[in-house]
């Protein structure tokens, strides 16, 4: 694939949006932790290993950590599909499924919604598996 075709890949656009989602996760987690622990904690070296004890700040931390567990896989698959192509379009469907599920996951986790949150997580995993299948088959 030539550079011009690669640059126009919808996978690269979705990859850019996924970076926005990552920054949102990190920012939300940081804002909520700072609200609870204070700006001196945020600006300091955090040697005392203090963790937020509030529900929402803790949930934001766990949601962010959960996102970062699958994010490298998404990045690799998206780049692989951008380079090799996706003639049937199913890889892009999988990428969008992962992205939308990861977006929906945030408010569900913050609100403490059980079961539906797990189903949404499984949807994101299904998106990754669809992407994998397009690289393999």
CATH label of the domain that carries residue 57: 1.20.120.550
Q: Would you say residue 1 has pLDDT above 90? A: no
Distance CA 124, CA 105 (A): 9
Average pLDDT over residues 95-115: 98
Whether pLDDT at 126 is above 80: yes
Please state which of the ranges 25-34, 43-52, 83-92 shows the lowest mean pLDDT: 43-52
Q: Global pTM?
A: 0.91
Please report the pLDDT score of residue 2 as a whole number.
65
Structure confidence at residue 125 (pLDDT): 98
pLDDT, average across residues 94-118: 98
Number of domains in the chain: 1
Q: SS3 sequence, 22-58?
A: HHHHHHHHHHHHHHHHCHHHHHCCCCCCCCCCCHHHH
Can you give the residue range of the structural domain that contains 38?
3-136
């Amino acid at each position: 694939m030539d550079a011009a075709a690669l640059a126009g890949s919808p996978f690269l656009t979705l990859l850019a949006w996924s970076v926005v989602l990552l920054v949102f996760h990190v920012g939300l987690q940081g804002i909520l932790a700072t609200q609870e622990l204070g700006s001196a904690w945020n600006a300091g070296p955090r040697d005392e290993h203090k963790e937020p004890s509030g529900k929402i700040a803790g949930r934001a931390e766990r949601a962010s950590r959960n996102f970062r567990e699958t994010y490298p896989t998404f990045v690799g698959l998206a780049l692989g599909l951008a380079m090799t192509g996706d003639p049937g379009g199913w890889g892009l469907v999988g990428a969008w499924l992962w992205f939308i599920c990861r977006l929906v996951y945030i408010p569900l986790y913050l609100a403490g919604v059980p079961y539906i949150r797990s189903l949404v997580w499984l949807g994101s995993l299904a998106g990754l598996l669809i992407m994998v299948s397009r690289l393999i088959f």
